[in-house]
Structure 1
Amino acid sequence: MSVLLIEPFYGGSHKQLMDLLQEELQEDCVLCTLPAKKWHWKARTSALYFMQTVPTSSNYRILFASSVLNLAELSALRPDLGKLKKVLYFHENQLAYPVQKCQERDFQYGYNQILSWFMPEHKLAHLEQVIGVKKNGDSYQSEGLPGQQESRAVMKTSDAHPESGLCEPQPGLCTTQHEGLPSPPAAPAQAEAPESTNPYQGEDKQCLTFNLSNILSGLDYQQRPLHIAWPHRWEHDKDPETFFKVLMKLKEQDLPFYVSVLGETFSEIPDIFSEAREVLGSSVLHWGYLPSKDDYFRALCTADVVISTAKHEFFGVAMIEAVHCGCYPLCPKALVYPEIFPAEYLYSTPEQLFKRLQNFCKRPDIVRKHLYKGETAGFSWAALGSKFRSLLAAEPREDL
């Protein structure tokens, strides 16, 4: 077990990536996790927990962790782990993460991330040679790599080897774009929800079965109403308010459509969900998280359009999964999306999103006959697996 995998928030895309790595590496790794609950506590205290629970072993060579872990603290608390080559994977940037309320930001989480990837001058000089990091005043920036937005973070390692593939502009390895998609045509995986907090879960699971088997199958494919999917976490950073306001406007104009609101819920659910559930009424095909992968993919495969209204996104596994299942994507012209999706799938304002959906509601055949013009194969494990294996197979150096 030469690779030590540490995940303090073992759920969602975090779990998806770790499970994929463990499956592919098999006997060559050990996985240490904490449940996907109380994220803020995990960010503050998980280093102390793993200091006590990660077994000591002389076989470890690589430490791979998500940035929820304060890697600097763990390295100090466990000098044996501090000597390993370390790969830190950023699922999000806490310095730019949207705040839910107008209040002073808690700087601790961004500070943890800074400490976890800070490197001394001699290492930055080495990176400048290997992957083209240039100094700009008192800061460093990457040149010639994808992901130059302020809200993105380059995957950091305690050393960079040319054979690892880090010097190549491959999406998902140089940046945080890859979150564990399987290889086409195999179905991509949806992570299990830590807990169900959805009051409609039982009711709408039955509703989904009834609607899909009776309503959709009884209509001509090209004539049935447009089916819209929103497969995201029910939290403020995904901006459900914008999404539901657009749908309510479609409803006001008596435009025909169905909607499946997928994604996991946590202890706090934005008020807009209960309001939208009531207003949308019979337009709802499904409401809430689907623990069954088959049910989840079936819902995506019957959908025509998948929408993101996110305010903060490094990659967006759910959107790529939906495109993989045949959905037409509509994404903000911001964040990571222009790097992944061609311009015709991007919108700049809620008004533009409404107009696109208005047109699709009137002519659903437009999206049903459409062939996606982007490329998703580069994000598959078939494309990136060898680079991850190379990265995680590298031997540590004495000067780390």
Structure 2
Amino acid sequence: MPENNTPVIFPKRILLLSPYDAVSHRYWHKGLVKAFPAIEWTVLTLSPRYFSWRIRGNSLTLGLGYQDTLLQPYDLVIATSMTDLSSLRGLVPALTQIPTILYCHENQFVYPAQENAVDSVGAQVVTLYSALAADCVVFNTLYNQETFISGAKKLLGQFPDGVPKNVISEITRKSRVIPVPLQADLFFKIKPTVSEQKLQIVWNHRWEYDKAPERFFSAIAQLATKTRNICVHVVGQQFRKKPPYFAEFYQKYADIVGQWGFVDSREDYHQLLANSDVVVSTALHDFQGISIQEAVALGCIPVVPDRLAYPYLFSKAFCYQSNIDDVEGEVDTLANRLYQLVVAKQENKLPQAPEMQEWYWSSLKEAYASLFTQVCTSLTKYEL
């Protein structure tokens, strides 16, 4: 903490860098700007594509392509962990004079292998150097922080020589956990409008392999052999290339499908969640699970694997036993859990969804305000 005689400083101008501006990153920084309207924000983003180039080349793109913006007078810089911060500070030395927070939505140490097949070590080194270059490192969940630290430790242990002993302790010293807050004001007005006898199940994730859609579809196929008293909504962000399981499932099980595909309107999407009973994850990779959290905040019962960030978010009652290597066993477990909920709805005994107020902006705004003040007041050396 700053000394008693140190003036307390709250930033008036903040530069926010999001060089791989994925959906969850936009969700976060739009929430920040809305939560602190008195701050003069400059938000600099790059599109979320060409991952390998973007994570290694963003310092070049930003440092030389947006130098006029970067050289403006700021009180604080907030950069996502996709930012090659050490290189950017080298290209624009003026940035080294501004207190800087690195915000980690994810880390490169626990992605499924296929995701980073091109250059996983390169991406890991970038984020490691960025964490060392920042004055404060913030993780969205304890799971993210723990896997970053353990992954970085493992990576450093593979290098032949020249690794200082205090790398991990330095990052740990200046790190903390503050989640991405839920923009609850967007769905407070949403109320359930449909009362269906069928169990309304929603799967609301990116249509990509790391969300393991094939596990979900296999579980629903198994469930459908026991009951058709279900309605399955499959929504979420889509890309030009998507796993074939989606088209195959829709063709075979169209009679139990409700909403299918991306929902353009946020209000319509939130209404769908409010009208659903259950939200399911089969993910192989999730650091906070905002899509699950939003659904739960709108009343959905979470049915999530006991891996990744989920055991940090929900009690055991909402986590089914997972096994990355035993797909068939995991599918059986998920299908059985969903069947139990079908029966529970028929008997009017569905459990209540967990409370989510602690994840709202109303609960987390003060943590962000305190973070900004502490980093700006203490500059680069402070006790967390």
Normalising by structure 2, what TM-score? 0.78
Q: 1:101 to 1:15 in 2, by over 3 A?
A: closer
Would you say 1:347 and 2:327 are equivalent positions?
A: no
Residue 100 of structure 1: aligned partner: 114
Mapped contact 1:230–1:308 kept (Cα < 8 A)? yes
Partners of 1:302 and 1:11 in 2: CA distance: 27
Q: CA RMSD in A?
A: 3.3
Partners of 1:103 and 1:41 in 2: CA distance: 13
* Shift in Å, 1:147: 3.5
SS of equivalent to 1:118 = helix
Partners of 1:398 and 1:298 in 2: CA distance: 44
The 10-residue stretch of structure 1 (226-235 or 103-112) with the greater mean CA deviation from structure 2: 103-112
- Opposite residue 387 of structure 1, the aligned amino acid is A
Q: 1:265 to 1:25 in 2, by over 3 A?
A: same
Q: 1:259 to 1:112 in 2, by over 3 A?
A: same
Q: 1:76 to 1:278 in 2, by over 3 A?
A: same
Aligned mate of 2:342, from 356, 361, 380: 361
- Opposite residue 357 of structure 2, the aligned amino acid is A
* Shift in Å, 1:315: 0.9
Residue 387 of structure 1: aligned partner: 367
- Opposite residue 294 of structure 1, the aligned amino acid is E
Residue 233 of structure 2: aligned partner: 260
Partners of 1:147 and 1:106 in 2: CA distance: 20
Partners of 1:377 and 1:342 in 2: CA distance: 16
Q: 1:151 to 1:311 in 2, by over 3 A?
A: farther
Would you say 1:37 and 2:37 are equivalent positions?
A: no
Mapped contact 1:64–1:87 kept (Cα < 8 A)? yes
- Opposite residue 181 of structure 2, the aligned amino acid is G
Partners of 2:347 and 2:128 in 1: CA distance: 46
Deviations 1:231-279 (A, max 9, x none): 1111111111111110111223343211111110123201111111112
- Opposite residue 360 of structure 1, the aligned amino acid is L
SS of equivalent to 2:255 = helix
* Shift in Å, 1:40: 3.0
Deviations 1:108-146 (A, max 9, x none): 2112111111269xx89xx9xxx9xxxxxxxxxx9xx94
- Stretches of structure 2 lacking an aligned partner (at least 5 in a row): 1-11, 151-171, 322-329
* Shift in Å, 1:377: 1.4
Would you say 1:248 and 2:221 are equivalent positions?
A: yes
Residue 307 of structure 1: aligned partner: 280
Would you say 1:151 and 2:144 are equivalent positions?
A: no
Partners of 2:379 and 2:315 in 1: CA distance: 45
Aligned mate of 1:237, from 210, 221, 237: 210
Would you say 1:187 and 2:174 are equivalent positions?
A: no
Would you say 1:28 and 2:40 are equivalent positions?
A: yes
Partners of 1:23 and 1:227 in 2: CA distance: 33
- Opposite residue 337 of structure 1, the aligned amino acid is Y
Q: Which structure: greater helix fraction?
A: 2
Residue 247 of structure 2: aligned partner: 274
Mapped contact 1:182–1:382 kept (Cα < 8 A)? no
Partners of 1:327 and 1:101 in 2: CA distance: 30
Q: 1:347 to 1:320 in 2, by over 3 A?
A: same
- Opposite residue 253 of structure 1, the aligned amino acid is K
Q: 1:12 to 1:375 in 2, by over 3 A?
A: same
* Shift in Å, 1:305: 0.5
After TM superposition, list the pairs within 5 Å mapping 1:115-130 onto structure 2: 115-118=129-132
- Opposite residue 298 of structure 1, the aligned amino acid is Q
SS of equivalent to 1:30 = strand
Mapped contact 1:236–1:270 kept (Cα < 8 A)? yes
Residue 174 of structure 1: aligned partner: 176
Q: 1:116 to 1:66 in 2, by over 3 A?
A: same
* Shift in Å, 1:148: 7.8
Aligned mate of 1:73, from 65, 87, 112: 87
Percent of residue pairs bearing the same amino acid type: 27
Mapped contact 2:201–2:276 kept (Cα < 8 A)? yes
The 10-residue stretch of structure 1 (361-370 or 83-92) with the greater mean CA deviation from structure 2: 361-370
* Shift in Å, 1:38: 2.8
Partners of 1:153 and 1:233 in 2: CA distance: 27
Partners of 2:273 and 2:379 in 1: CA distance: 49
* Shift in Å, 1:72: 1.1
* Shift in Å, 1:4: 0.6
Normalising by structure 1, what TM-score? 0.75
Q: 1:359 to 1:20 in 2, by over 3 A?
A: same
- Opposite residue 187 of structure 1, the aligned amino acid is F
Aligned mate of 2:30, from 15, 19, 25: 19
Partners of 2:343 and 2:63 in 1: CA distance: 58
Mapped contact 1:182–1:188 kept (Cα < 8 A)? no
Partners of 2:56 and 2:240 in 1: CA distance: 19
Residue 14 of structure 2: aligned partner: 3
SS of equivalent to 1:88 = strand
Deviations 1:275-294 (A, max 9, x none): 11112212111111112011
Partners of 2:364 and 2:336 in 1: CA distance: 37
SS of equivalent to 2:120 = coil
Mapped contact 1:90–1:153 kept (Cα < 8 A)? no
Mapped contact 1:255–1:358 kept (Cα < 8 A)? no
Q: 1:367 to 1:352 in 2, by over 3 A?
A: farther
